[in-house]
Structure formats: C-alpha cells, structure tokens
C-alpha cells in the first residue's frame, strides 16, 4: 500500500461541514477536527496523556470484552524509526505515538487460567467485532486529543509492516497491530478537509442509488483541483488500467484524459495513489502476516471433540 496522500485539497467545505456556527462545544469540536501532521517540540505530560487514554477505555466494545491494547511510544529513537519505516517523517516529530492493537492474548490467558474454552483468535466474527472495538477506542482517543487542544493523525501505513512492528514491540501471538496514532501539540491548527455532504452519505429509510450527474457534481465539489497531465502520470495510469481492465480500456482512458485536459481525481486516487492492481496483489502478503500473528480464521477450524 502507498503512503497516505496528504496533498489533497484542504479548503473549507460548505458551512454545513464547517460547523462554525454550532453552539454545542462537542459538536463544534467534531465538525472542526482535522488531521494534524506538524507538531510543536513540546512534551505531553503524563496527566494529559492519561486523561486522553482513559477516554479510550470508556469506549463501547462488543460484549464489553475490551479486546485491545495500546502501546504508548515516547522514545525518540523508536518514534524516528517508525517515521522512517512508514516514509512519513512527521511521525518522529510527534512526542507521542500510540499503537492500537487487537489483543486476544490477554483474554486468552484469562480464559486459560479460568479453564474456559477459547477460540477468539481463530474466529472471524470475533475478528470482525474486535477490529471495530479497536478503532472505536482509537477514535474516542482522537476526540479527547482534540478536546484538550492537541492534534493527531492516524497512520494506517503501519499495517504494511506488520511483521516488523510485531517484533519491534514484542507483540505476542494473538496481538495484531491495527493502526498508529501520532499526537502532540499542533504547530498550527489544520483546516478541516472538504467532505461529501449529507445528501450523498445519508439515505432515508432505504439505500438510494445516486444519480450519476449528482454524484459527479458532488465529487467535483470535493476535489476541485485538476491535476495536470505529465508523461510519467499517463504511463503509470496506462499500465494500471491495462493490468486491471485490459489494453483497449487503457488506450481509451488515456484518450479521454487528453481530451479532458487534466487527470480527474478518481484516476488520481485509483491510478496513481491507491494503485488499483497493487492494492489487490498485496492481499496474500497481508493475510500471511495476519496468520503469522496467530489469527487462523482464513482457514476452516477443526474442533477437537464432536
């Protein structure tokens, strides 16, 4: 997977998304949040950090199992190493990094000590719910970070280095790194990004297939920038489209780009950034790493008794 794209448009959206005018402080905080990628050289005190972390503990989890662990990373060398590994140097500048992990080890040990039957790491439904538990706790923490005047950004790229990350932090079997959060005091408050509006995202009672023109208009408003054509980009796009859809489609795609005079944002996303063929050819490697971490739900589970 590629590193996250930070060069996308960042202007204010319509007032509806800006939320400048909401009188409720919590709602305003949620409307005005934005990922922060530049941090002051200022430590986060234990008091502040613990208040933030406690907001995570209070998050809902399926069955209140709390199947997650958070590795608190303050060590300068380790932060820099993570920044280098993920190709995102600002990770090293954030005074605190939090590694959110799905953790079936702690519950497994508890079950063992209490002689309870336990199959959680090998169960797909446990994985599915547990993964949501991790992310919901992380998002509670993000909101707490913003509420106390700090800023943060998720780093999903960490998942490209599952094996290394497991080694770096001594993660036992049954513990899977999910996402990293870099946080600290922002050098400057980032502007909220443009988002699709309620009309695109929310459906009344039943799913409504979007009207094509409205859809193009909505994405056009979200991404008003028109990336310029270069030979290098055309070649890359041609290669990706050829691999995914065949040569004829690739030739037609390039024709259309030339006619239009710019590279539209769908092509920029799936042809240049989240490169469509690479995104699927990496599947086996990810699944292999998840299995190595002790999660076996990709294969049929054999019960010992009958």
* Residue 1 is a binding residue for ligand FMN (CB under 6 A): no
User: Looking at 11-19, 73-81, 151-159, 290-298, which segment touches ligand FMN (CB under 6 A)?
Assistant: 151-159
* Residue 153 is a binding residue for ligand FMN (CB under 6 A): yes
Phi, psi of 145 (to 5 degrees): -60, -50
Distance CA 30, CA 144 (A): 11
Q: Give least dist CB 195 to ligand FMN, A.
A: 7
Task: Work out the number of other CB atoms within 10 angstroms of the CB of residue 83.
Answer: 19
Residue from 66, 88, 152, 289 in contact with ligand FMN (CB under 6 A): 88
- 10 Å CB burial of residue 236 (0-12, 13-18, 19+) is middle
Residues 6+ apart with CB under 8 A from 183: 36, 39, 44, 52, 94, 95, 96, 97, 98, 145, 150, 151, 152, 153
- 10 Å CB burial of residue 76 (0-12, 13-18, 19+) is exposed
Task: Work out the number of other CB atoms within 10 angstroms of the CB of residue 105.
Answer: 20
User: Looking at 96-104, 153-161, 230-238, 251-259, which segment touches ligand FMN (CB under 6 A)?
Assistant: 153-161
Q: Residue 161 has which token pair?
A: 């280095």
Residue from 22, 106, 193, 273 in contact with ligand FMN (CB under 6 A): 193
Q: Give least dist CB 35 to ligand FMN, A.
A: 4
* Binding characters for ligand FMN, 2-21, by CB under 6 A (x = yes): --x-x---------------
Distance CA 280, CA 277 (A): 6
Phi, psi of 226 (to 5 degrees): -115, 95
Q: Give least dist CB 36 to ligand FMN, A.
A: 8
Residue from 97, 140, 157, 289 in contact with ligand FMN (CB under 6 A): 157
Residue from 35, 132, 143, 264 in contact with ligand FMN (CB under 6 A): 35
DSSP 63: G
Q: Which of residues 198-257 bind ligand FMN (CB under 6 A)?
A: none
Nearer to ligand FMN, 3 or 247 (CB): 3
* Residue 30 is a binding residue for ligand FMN (CB under 6 A): no
User: Looking at 43-51, 125-133, 155-163, 264-272, which segment touches ligand FMN (CB under 6 A)?
Assistant: 155-163
Nearer to ligand FMN, 181 or 250 (CB): 181
Give the CA distances from residue 293 to residues 86, 123, 160, 248, in Å, rounded to whole numbers and listed in that order: 20, 14, 14, 42
Site of interaction with ligand FMN (CB under 6 A): 4, 6, 34-35, 37, 88, 153-157, 179, 193
């Amino acid at each position: 997977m590629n590193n996250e794209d930070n060069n996308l448009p960042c202007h204010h959206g319509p007032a509806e998304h800006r939320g400048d005018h909401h009188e409720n402080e919590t709602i305003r905080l949620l409307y005005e949040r934005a990922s922060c990628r530049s941090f002051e050289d200022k430590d986060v005190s234990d008091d502040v950090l613990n208040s933030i972390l406690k907001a995570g503990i209070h998050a809902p989890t399926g069955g209140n199992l709390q199947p997650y662990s958070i590795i608190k990373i303050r060590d300068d060398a380790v932060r820099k190493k993570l920044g280098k590994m993920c190709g995102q140097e600002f990770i090293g500048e954030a005074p605190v990094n939090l590694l959110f992990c799905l953790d079936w080890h702690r519950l497994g040990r508890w079950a063992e000590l209490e002689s309870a039957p336990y199959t959680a790491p090998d169960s797909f439904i446990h994985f599915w719910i547990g993964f949501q538990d991790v992310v919901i706790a992380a998002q509670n923490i993000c909101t707490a970070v913003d509420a106390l005047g700090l800023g943060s950004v998720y780093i999903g790229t960490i998942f490209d280095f599952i094996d290394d990350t497991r080694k770096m932090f001594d993660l036992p079997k049954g513990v899977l790194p999910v996402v990293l959060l870099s946080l600290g005091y922002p050098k400057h408050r980032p502007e909220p990004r443009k988002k699709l509006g309620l009309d695109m995202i929310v459906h009344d009672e039943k799913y409504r297939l979007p009207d094509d023109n409205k859809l193009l208009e909505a994405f056009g408003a979200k991404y008003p920038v028109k990336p310029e054509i270069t030979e290098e980009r055309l070649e890359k796009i041609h290669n990706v489209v050829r691999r995914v859809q065949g040569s004829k489609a690739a030739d037609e795609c390039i024709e259309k780009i030339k006619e239009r005079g710019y590279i539209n944002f769908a092509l920029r996303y799936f042809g240049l950034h989240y490169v469509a063929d690479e995104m699927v050819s990496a599947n086996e490697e990810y699944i292999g790493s998840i299995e190595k971490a002790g999660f076996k739900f990709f294969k049929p589970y054999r019960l010992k008794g009958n």
